Structure 1
């Protein structure tokens, strides 16, 4: 099964024409022909089973023959992560977090961030590709990059955690996470959060957590945190 994505699909649509690039992929690469089935998600929980009625490599047309609604998870995982200096490492995080099952991602610009600008469109494509590859019906929400200071002004709810490298009492993340609870986890840049940022987060209600004895890269820490939350909720 290969999954395609189009955000415009809804229950009112009975026929759909793929754009040129995807039409070429379906007809020329996958060698699909009239009568073959393809599958599409709109990223908000629906999987559409579609039969090809026009196998044109420029305008492949399908008819929707069945629709399935995938129920959302009972928890919401929001990863707030500082972009890494190397772009490909942050893209790797986006890809793997999507495959694991993150629901929302916010790039956060911190005092020690070496990368302060991200390519939103490029990052969105990485997430879409990972969603399709992992056959998921929900597209994670990618928020625009925001400064740490401004993010701390936003309303917060659910379980709030910050993973940092400073000394102090911390409980392991796996002992803090509770099933079926909304969770937000802050992961800092390569140079970690500044002392001021840590103090601000703690005063805002974020609890300090440990991700283990080893010091992890930003993207590794973020993936580890995603995995812990997912295992506890799906175990």
Structure 2
């Protein structure tokens, strides 16, 4: 199945014109022609089947044949708040894999020990779009603008909240605390971990401390492990 990302499409559309980038990919790269079928995703869960009626390399015209509104919908909601890695390619790797496995919302979290304080989300969103198309998904995770740890503590969340850290203390695995279909928010710290004040601040407002195992994991590995554990709880 070949997917094209078309966030502008709406369920009521009977015809649609691909933008120049996607038209070029369909007609010039894939050499698609009139009457050939392809699939569109809107990033909101909608999967459309369409047929090419004009294989123009800059504005290919399509006829919409059918639409499925909740393609691949998962039974749970996962929000990952992750400290950006010093080397941005590691953050890109996490976003790619998390999009493939399943995540709904991601917030870059600026912490006391963060070595990277700024994030350009435009490039990261392109990585996520490519991962969504590659993994045949129709929903694109929301990538928020970065927030400081203190500001994020004031963000409401209607579900279980967790903080994964390496400090001593009583911690459990997410699988022991999270029920299937329950919404989850997970905080993952920077390379130097959360500082003591951040851990105290989070647990004071209701975040549950969790462990991801005995090994000390890189930030992006820890974040992906949390995504996997959430998926396993809901399989």
Same fold, TM-score > 0.5, yes or no? yes
Q: Distance in 1 between matches of 2:103 and 2:89?
A: 19
Deviations 1:123-177 (A, max 9, x none): 1111111111111111111111000000001223311110000001111222222
Q: Which residue of 2 aligns with 1:40?
A: 40
User: What is the CA–CA distance in structure 2 between the aligned matches of 1:114 and 1:184, rounded to whole Å?
Assistant: 23
SS of the residue 1:33 aligns to: coil
SS at match of 1:97: helix
Could you say what secondary structure the match of 1:79 adopts? strand
Secondary structure of residue in 2 paired with 1:171: coil
Q: Which residue of 2 aligns with 1:8?
A: 8
1:49 partner SS: strand
- Secondary structure at 1:193 match in 2: coil
The aligned residue for residue 86 of structure 1 is: 87
Q: Distance in 1 between matches of 2:85 and 2:31?
A: 39
Quote the residue 2:21 is aligned against: 21
1:74, distance to aligned residue in structure 2 (A): 2.5
Deviation at 1:69, TM superposition (A): 2.0
Deviations 1:24-52, CA, capped at 9 Å, x for gaps: 11112111100100100111121110100
Aligned to 1:140: 141
Which runs of at least 4 in structure 1 moved beyond 6 Å after TM superposition?
A: none
Name the counterpart of 2:164: 163
Gaps of 5+ in 2: none
SS at match of 1:63: strand
SS at match of 1:196: helix
Task: State the distance in 2 between where 1:94 and 1:74 align.
Answer: 20
C-alpha separation in 2, matches of 1:115 and 1:121: 16
Query: Which structure 1 residue ranges, 5 or more long, are not aligned?
Result: none
Single out whichever of 101-110 and 55-64 deviates more from structure 2: 55-64
Once residues 158 and 186 of structure 2 are traced to their aligned partners in structure 1, the CA distance between those partners, rounded to angstroms, is 12
SS at match of 1:118: coil
**Structure 1 Cα separation of the partners of residues 58 and 134 of structure 2:** 23
Residue 55, structure 1, aligned to residue 55, structure 2 = yes
How many residue pairs align between the two structures?
A: 234
